[in-house]
Structure 1
C-alpha cells in the first residue's frame, strides 16, 4: 500500500533530522581538527625552556624542534585524512571549489616530495659536518694538547667551515676552493650528497610554486571542506619552508618572502608568529651565504671559527687559562656533536616517514577522484 501524505511527510522529517545530525557531527569534527592544529602550532611557537633530564632542548630551529614539528605535521595529516578524505561521499569532490582545490593540494604534495628528497640529502651533509667536528673534538681533548693534535683539528675545522660558508647560489656548481686538493675533494663529496638535482632546480622556487595559488577561502563557500583543505595546504607549505630554511638545500635565494598566510583563522596566528621569527633569522643570515638556520649548524660554525683561531696561534705549552677556555669550547662542540649524532638519524627517519605518508595519502585521494570521474563520465550507448 503506498504511503499516505502524512507518512511521506514523517519520513521526510526523519531524513532531514538524520542529515542535520550528520552535518552537525561533521562540523564538530572540522572544528576539532582546526583546534588540534592550533594547539600543536602553539606548542611549537612556545617550546619548553627546560627539557627533561637527558633530553635535548627544543629551542626554535634546533634538531629537537624540527623533530617535534614533523611529529605535529604527521598528526595533522592523519587527522586531515580522517576528517576530509576517508568515508566521504565522492560527490563532494566534484563540486566547486573542491574540484579545483583538491588537485591543487595534490600538486603541492608532489612538490613536497621533491623537497623531502632534498632535505634527506641535506641531512646527509649535516651528518658529514658532525663527523668533521667530532674529529676536531677528539683531537683537542688529548692531554696535553700537542701540535699534531691541533693541526689535525684545524684541518677538519677548515674543511667544515669551508663547506658551511658556500653561498647558496653556487651550491650546485663546483666549489671555488682555496683549500688543499684533499679538502676540495671532501667538500665536493659533501655537495654531491646534498644536491643531486639538476642545476635549474631551486628549493626556493618549489616553495614559491606551492604557495602561489594558496588563496584564503571566501565567505559562503558551498562546502565545509574548503577550510580544512586550505589549512592542510598551509601547514604543508609552512613545514617545507621551515625545513628548507634550516637544512642545506639547493638555491634558496629570497626564501623569506614566499609564504603569505591569512590571519582570520585561530590556527594561523601561531603559524604566522613562527614564520616571522624564522623569517627574521633568515634575513640576518641570507647575505652571508650560510647553509641554513639550524641551531646546531650555527653553533658549530661559531665554535669552529674560535677553535681555528686558537689553532693558528697555537704555542706549546698552552697557558692554563687558555687551556681552560679551549676545553670549554671543545666540550660545547662535543655536546653539539652528540645531539647531532642522535638527532639527525631520527630526523632522517621522520623525513622518510613524511615522504611515505604523503605518497600513501596521494594514492588514497586519487582513488576518491577516480570514483568521481567514473560517476561523472557518461555511459556510452
Structure 2
C-alpha cells in the first residue's frame, strides 16, 4: 500500500512537471511573438520617419566652443527621403530582417504536426502561394531597375554636354537629343515600355517559376553560386502579365486572425504576409513595372494593431502620392526619377529657346539645374546596382525560405496521406 501511494505521488509530480514545461513553452512562444511584433513596429517606424517633414535645427558647426559642445550639439544625418533609392534599400533590409525572425518563430523547434491543424493548414499554403507571386514581382522590379539605369545614362549624356564651357549649339543639340529620348521613354505606354524595354524595343519579360522547362531559377542560382552576375532571374512571360493584378491576388484572403488565433502562430503568419504584400506593392508603385493600371492605393490592414501603425501610415502616404500622379502607369514614384523628369523638361525648354551667347543670369540658372541633374545621376549610379542586388537577394531568400517550409511540411503530409489499397 505505501508503494502505491509513492507511485501515485511520483506520477502526480510528472504530471505537474509536464504542465510546467507546457506553460514555459507557451510563455516562450508568447514572448517570441511579442518581440517579433515589437521589432516589426520599430523597423517600420524608422522607415516612416523619412515621410515626415524634417524639423528645422541649427547646425552643429554653429556651436563649436569645445569638443564636448560639438558632441552635445551633434545632429545625426536625416533619414533618406521617402521613396528614394536609399529608402528602398532600407525597406528591403527591413524585410530581410523580418523574414529571418519570422522563420525562426515559425519553424525553429516547432512540432511539424502543428502545420496540419487549423488555421495553419490554410494560412501556410496561402503564404507559400503569395511568395510565388512575390518572386514574379521581384523579376519585374529587376527589369524596371534596368530601365531606370537606362534613363540615368541618358541623363549623364545631357550633363556631360551641358557642363561644357562655353555651351554652344552643338552641346545643346546633343543634350536635347538625350533628354528628349529620356522623356519619351518615361512617357511611353506602360504595356510596351516597362520592364526590359530599355532601348525602345519590346523585350522579353520573365517569370520566377515558368511553365516551360530549362533555365529559370535553378540556372540563376547556379550562376549566383559561381559568383557571376546574371541579367534575368528566369525566363519570358506574356505581355498580358499585370503587376497590379499580381498585387491584388497577393492581398486576397489577407485577413487578420480572430479570437484565440490572434495569440498563436496564425499571428506571425499574418504579419509576414502583410509585410510581403506591402513591400511588393511599394516596389511596384515606385519602379517601372508592366501594367500598373488599377494598382490599389489601400491595403487591408486593421488600424487597431499596434505593430501595423507605422506600416499603415506609410501606405497612406504612398497611396496619396500615387493618386496625385497623373501618369500612373509610367515612371512610377521613385524620387530620383521624379526629379530627373522635371529637370529634363525644364532643360528641353531651355534648349528650344537657346541663343548663343547666353545671358549671364540664364547661364547661372541652367548651370544650377545641370548640377542638380548631375547629383541625381550620381545617386542613381551609386544606388541602383546595390538596389538591384538586394531585390535579387530578396528573391533568393524567399525561394530558400519557401523550400525550408516545404521540407518541414513534406514528411507530415506523407504521414497524413491515406495509403491506397
Same fold (TM over 0.5): yes
2:269 alignment partner, one of 229, 236, 239: 229
Q: How large is the Cα RMSD of the aligned pairs?
A: 2.6
Deviation >4 Å, runs of 4+: 193-196, 286-289, 378-381
Q: Does 1:260 align with 2:284?
A: no
CA distance in 1, matches of 2:187, 2:366: 23
Q: What is the match of residue 125 of structure 2?
A: 103
Counterparts of residues 124-135 of structure 1 (less than 5 Å): 124-135=146-157
What displacement does 1:252 show?
0.5
Structure having greater relative contact order (Cα 8 Å, sep ≥ 6): 1
In the alignment, which residue of structure 1 is the partner of 2:212? Answer: none
Describe the SS at the equivalent of 2:406.
helix
Change (3 A) 1:379 1:8: farther
| Offset, 1:288 | 5.8
User: Which residue number in structure 1 is paired with residue 140 of structure 2?
Assistant: 118
Deviation at 1:106, TM superposition (A): 0.2
Q: CA deviation at 1:378?
A: 4.3
Equivalent in the alignment of 1:317: 357
Residue correspondence of structure 1 range 39-58 to structure 2 within 5 A = 39-47=42-50, 49=54, 58=80
Structure 1 unmatched runs, 5+: 174-184
* C-alpha contact 1:168 1:251 (8 A) present in aligned 2: yes
Instruction: Choose from 192, 203, 221 the match for 1:192.
Output: 203
Shifted more, 308-317 versus 221-230: the winner is 221-230
Q: Give the distance between the partners of 2:109 and 2:184, measured in 1 at CA.
A: 53
The answer to whether the aligner puts 1:142 opposite 2:164 as a matched pair is yes
Write out per-residue CA displacement over residues 21-42 of structure 1, whole angstroms, 9 at most, x where no aligned residue: 1110111011100100011011
Is residue 2:36 matched to residue 1:33?
Answer: yes
Quick one: structure 1 residues 86 and 152, their matched pair in 2 at CA, closer, same or farther if it must change by over 3 Å? Answer: same
Q: Give the CA deviation at 1:287.
A: 4.5
Does 92-101 or 252-261 show the bigger shift? Answer: 252-261
Q: Among residues 293, 306, 323, which one is paired with 2:333 in the alignment?
A: 293
Structure 2 counterpart of 1:244: 284
Q: Which residue of 1 aligns with 2:114?
A: 92
More moved, 257-266 vs 271-280: 257-266
- TM-score, normalization: structure 1? 0.91
CA spacing shift, 1:251–1:360, aligned 2, 3 Å = same
What is the TM-score of this pair, normalised by structure 2? Answer: 0.83
1:182-228 residue CA offsets vs partner (Å, 9 max, x unmatched)? xxx97424x52778531210000000000011111111228710000
| Residue number among 8, 11, 29 corresponding to 2:11 in the alignment | 8
Unaligned runs of 5+ in 2: 56-73, 207-235
